[in-house]
């Protein structure tokens, strides 16, 4: 299993189940059926565009009987030099009524610049007040697509549970008494792989180096002290975040493609 896929799995909620089916992994999160990419197929190799309908049918066989989810979802990673162009899949995906997302898989290749003195303070989140501040920041800055039942709040609780199990830390960056940035770092001791997760900056402090500063602090404080051999982050293709990570010393190593659609749209 490659490092990026492994990091996808170890940031899943603790109750998740991953089953190896040979050519793919089936991922189940039965406590939250509306967690689309908590109930999905992780394909071990990129499919041909002509196989998308077949993979949707495999998803239905895996998930429909358990009524675990009502959204067909699968994703794969491509590390080849001649990765299939987006056009190869976007036309077929559109025809099959899929929503397609492409992300860049990035790996830390060189140490970021040393942290310079600053009035901003960064440290792991520890107290109940810290956790509440971080939750509020994520809720205010991340789009919550589930009105009346905050998915963001639930997902953050799962990250906190992983921290409680000793599998990571959640960090914050404060300007005076205000939390202006937050992010998680998780790791697996077996293969010394780390993953940056949900790097978020408060509106009003964007484009002021908050993300850069927070990631610098985390890398210097944890990646080298824990002797992690790889640090992975996944960012939307062409996003401002991917450019920031490049300047921090991350380099693109692959592309992750995700497809999803309502099961009612499968014909």
Render pLDDT for 170-211 as a digit per residue (tens, 0 to 9). Answer: 999 999 999 999 999 999 877 689 999 999 999 999 999 999
Instruction: Say yes or no: do domains 3-104+255-265 and 121-248 share a fold.
Output: yes
pLDDT at 91: 76
Domain ranges of the chain: 3-104+255-265, 121-248
Return the CATH number of the domain spanning residue range 3-104+255-265.
Answer: 3.40.630
DSSP state of 223: I
E strands, 109-249, are 121-124, 168-175, 178-188, 193-201, 230-236
Q: How much is the pTM?
A: 0.90
Tell me how far CA of residue 84 lies from CA of 8, 35, 87, in angstroms. Answer: 22, 28, 8
Residue appearing with tokens 């170890």: 10
Closest C-alpha to 44, from 62, 19, 65, 69:
19
pLDDT at 104: 95
Which segments in the chain show pLDDT lower than 70? 65-69, 81-88, 117, 143-149, 191, 265-267
Q: Where are the alpha helices (DSSP H) in 142-266?
A: 151-164, 210-218, 240-248
pLDDT digit string, tens, across residues 43-58:
999 998 889 999 999 9
pLDDT at 87: 64
Q: How far is residue 128's CA from residue 186's CA, in Å, rounded to a whole number?
A: 20
pLDDT at 90: 76
Tell me the CATH class for 121-248. Answer: alpha beta
């Amino acid at each position: 299993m490659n490092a990026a896929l492994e990091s996808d799995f170890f940031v899943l909620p603790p109750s998740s189940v991953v089953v190896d089916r040979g050519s793919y992994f089936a991922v189940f999160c039965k406590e939250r059926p509306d967690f689309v990419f908590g109930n999905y197929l992780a394909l071990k190799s990129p499919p041909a565009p002509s196989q998308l309908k077949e993979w949707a049918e495999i998803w239905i066989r895996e998930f429909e009987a358990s009524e675990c989810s009502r959204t067909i979802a699968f994703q794969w990673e491509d590390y080849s030099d001649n990765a299939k162009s987006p056009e190869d899949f976007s036309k077929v995906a559109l025809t099959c009524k899929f929503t397609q997302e492409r992300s860049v898989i990035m790996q830390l290749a060189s140490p970021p610049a040393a942290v310079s003195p600053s009035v901003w303070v960064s440290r792991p989140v520890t107290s109940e007040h810290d956790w509440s501040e971080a939750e509020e920041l994520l809720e205010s800055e991340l789009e919550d697509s589930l009105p009346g039942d905050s998915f963001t709040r639930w997902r953050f609780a799962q990250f906190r549970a992983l921290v409680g199990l000793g599998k990571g830390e959640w960090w914050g960056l404060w300007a005076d008494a205000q939390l202006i940035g937050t992010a998680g770092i998780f790791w697996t001791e077996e293969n010394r792989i780390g993953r940056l997760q949900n790097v978020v900056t408060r509106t009003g402090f964007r484009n002021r180096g908050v993300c850069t500063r927070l990631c610098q602090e985390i890398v210097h404080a944890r990646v080298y002290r824990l002797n992690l051999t790889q640090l992975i982050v996944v960012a939307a293709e062409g996003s401002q975040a991917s450019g920031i990570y490049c300047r921090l010393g991350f380099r693109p190593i692959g592309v992750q493609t995700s497809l999803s659609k309502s099961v009612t749209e499968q014909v």
